[in-house]
Chains A and B, each alone.
Chain A
Amino acid sequence: MLAYAIRRFGQSFIVLVFMSFLVFVGVYAIGNPVELLVNPQADEAERIRATAALGLDKPFLEQYWGFLVGAAKGDLGKSFVFNVPALTLILEKLPATIELAFVAMVLAISLGIPLGLVAGLKPDSFVGRGIMAGSIMGFSLPTFWVGLVLIMIFSVHLGWLPSNGRGETVLVAGIPVSFLTMDGIAHLAMPATNLALFKLSLLIRLTRAGTREAMLQDYVKFARAKGLPQRRVIGVHVLKNILIPIVTVIGLELGSVIAFAIVTESIFAWPGTGKLLIDSINQLDRPVIVAYLLVIVSLFVVINFVVDVLYSLLDPRVRLGGAAAAH
């Protein structure tokens, strides 16, 4: 287990270095941020001074090496625009995004798995068909459009929910959170629903497919032949088997919800990292872009590791480390 963890993190480290290089090349190729940063009326001398101040006058590889040396010390560079450490900038915005993502995932999971079970157990019933029709909508309607319609209905027409911001927050362990105040929940409701909709549809489909397949298995028939109540057959025998793929997908989707909440954050003016990333790309603020992507990749690495551990808990046939197969 420990050897497995070390190997996994070693691989992740290589991914991080490789990815930072790609982003460096990518942003370098797009254009010169100095053009956007200095006053358009500035003369050539001022331009050169600004370039030198940001370290952009050095050769590309030297710039990258400088970044690596800084990163090893925990310094991912300062934002060209705000002149504060890029990491600080991201960590300030990250709690809002993570909160939004978690609430969206909890919504998707707590609705998606039960609805998927119902649709899988009664595929031909009115309810089962209704759930599937709903999930097709969730899949095919674009996120930005759903967000706008939500605002139209609940903010403009009904006036029930606020359309932007985080609302009132309270500090939990030094981190501001919205979901503990009524005002915060009102602000969370629409963006979280908006973000959850696609994942909800995905989980419904995944659970339904798994349930339909599991119900045909001999172990389900045997469990029924043992005289077990239906709720135990479904809740233990079926659910534990279908959870294996579901947990994998939830893990992957949690990462992508955090990384790509950009559209929802933009529509509801949610002060998270998605908005920050878009602004940084517009201004070619390379340190922030690189730092953001490194943080996101690290998040994916951690989530995938947790998923693998959960996997081994759910499926006794899976042993972490791969070496067990040789025994």
Chain B
Amino acid sequence: MKKFMATSLVAVLFTMTIPAMAELNVFACEPEWASLASEIGGERIRTYSATTAFQDPHHIEARPSLIARVRRADLVICSGAELEVGWLPLLQRQAGNPSVLPGKPGYFEAAAMVERLDIPVVLDRSVGDVHAQGNPHVHLDPRRIQGIARALQTRLIEIDPDGKAYYQSRLIDFNQRWQQATEQWQYQAKKLKGTRIVVHHRDWVYLFDWLGIQIAGALEPKPGLPTSVGHLLSLKQALASNPAAMIVHTTYQNPRAAKRLAQMTNIPVVELPYTVGGDERVTDLFSLFDVTIQRLMDGLQ
């Protein structure tokens, strides 16, 4: 036993390599934040995304590999607003890395940087798994992304003051491109204003708020609860008198419920990428909105 431990310790010390460059290790809870961090941090940071577009960020295992990543992180970027409440606190507590604990500069909560929607009036679990600080899926509104990008730049400068000029110029460049793209998206999506769409979970609140889309209903009877036949029937009834243009779901949600409702109502189903990596064409935040708006427009036809 002891011999085994001694050999493994030596092996671990041997494989420990310290990077030569003073790069910041950025641990992003979700791919959208890894992408945003790359936009602002460029070559001064190395990003790692804890999740992919195919994983529900509400339900992630506090895996050993994630603890190991947080251990070496200089900055942890997450949505916050309790989205990661089931796993992030465990990673932070077990990693032995004080610089990324809540309240420290190394912990960046994107949702805390912007105004949030869906802040519950009543906090009661009988209405589902609601987040006390509001809806955490803030990355689907380009206006909010801009605010978060600015806050992230400030935070990067705080952690890595040597890179101040670099981060500032990256932000200016990003803002320029983002502003332009936002205007174009808004133009492309003009027709979506007032459209009624059925959602799986309320992941789309910020996107819809931005584009003026109305939520015609949710496949989840209550946030976090799987759909039921009874709930689909009541949705069908509601949609009969007040129809919707499409049903949307993310890559990590099972499309079965959406397809079932589509069969019942003849409303088309549209899968949206939700985040970076959710479609092979979605490689960054820009293409995320490109594809999302294109899919929504296609769904409208």
| Physical interaction between A and B | no
